[in-house]
Amino acid sequence: MTLAIYPGSFNPVTNGHLDISRRAARLFDTVIMAVFDRPNKSLIFSTAERLEMLRTAVRGLPNVRAESYTELTVAYARQRGATAIVRGLRTAADFEYEFQMSQINQTLAPEIDYVTLMSDHKYTFVSSSMVRELASYGADISWIVPPHVEAALRHVYKNKTV
Ligand code: ADP
């Protein structure tokens, strides 16, 4: 049985993240999308909210589940018995960061492979921060997030003036 974890902030989950998880689900028996509790980023959703949105988003994917974690990613991956850590690549800018992370993680846990996947071209420019910005201006985000995430973002920004 092969198990991969796909860690991230998922603040919030987008169709780009889900595209990567669908691809990973074809390669591994089980994929755990793992919400990191304390990313070095400003968050508009709590860990519980990010996890709940992720759980709803992966309901239709039988071998994908969502969890949250607080420890070092490789420690969490080891504890789950993962053989791989999955990440997504959009542009060369992502590559620089992911390459550095792969070197660190593979040094700390040589038995866990770092696998990067490319999403469909429709999602190359999609990021959680872009989704949040579009939502804050009331722009259409239905093409880049699941309906329940769109509703949550509308709720967050409904009282903000644009
Ligand atoms: P992090 O804070 O760990 O970067 P994110 O939630 O922003 O967490 O992203 C998690 C992973 O998903 C990262 O590897 C990121 O590059 C990847 N990712 C995010 N959006 C997309 C997308 N639209 N297409 C492909 N990969 C993506």
Is residue 93 predicted with pLDDT exceeding 90? no
Q: What SS3 class is residue 57?
A: helix
Q: Is 9 in the pocket of ligand 1 (CB under 6 A)?
A: yes
Q: What is the mean pLDDT of residues 9-30?
A: 98
Any ligand 1 atom below 6 A from CB of 146: no
pLDDT in tens, 123-156: 999 999 999 999 999 999 999 999 999 999 999 9
Q: Distance from the CA of 157 to the center of ligand 1, in angstroms? A: 23
Ligand 1, atom 4, lies closest to the CA of 8
Ligand 1 and 54: CB distance under 6 A? no
Atom 21 of ligand 1, nearest CA residue: 16
**Nearest atom within ligand 1 for CA of residue 126:** 23
pTM of the model: 0.95
- Residues with a catalytic annotation lie at 17, 41, 90, 128
Q: Rounded mean pLDDT of the chain?
A: 95
Alpha-helical runs (H) found in the chain = 15-27, 47-57, 73-80, 92-108, 128-136, 147-157
**Whole-angstrom Cα distance, residue 113 to residue 102?**
8
16 lines ligand 1 (CB under 6 A): yes
Using a pLDDT cut of 90, give the percent of the chain over it.
Answer: 91
The total of other beta-carbon atoms located within 10 Å of residue 126's CB is 21
**Has residue 39 got a pLDDT over 90?**
no
ω into 39 cis (within 30 of 0): no
Least confident of 20-24, 71-75, 91-95, 139-143: 91-95
Q: Calculate mean pLDDT across residues 58-72.
A: 97
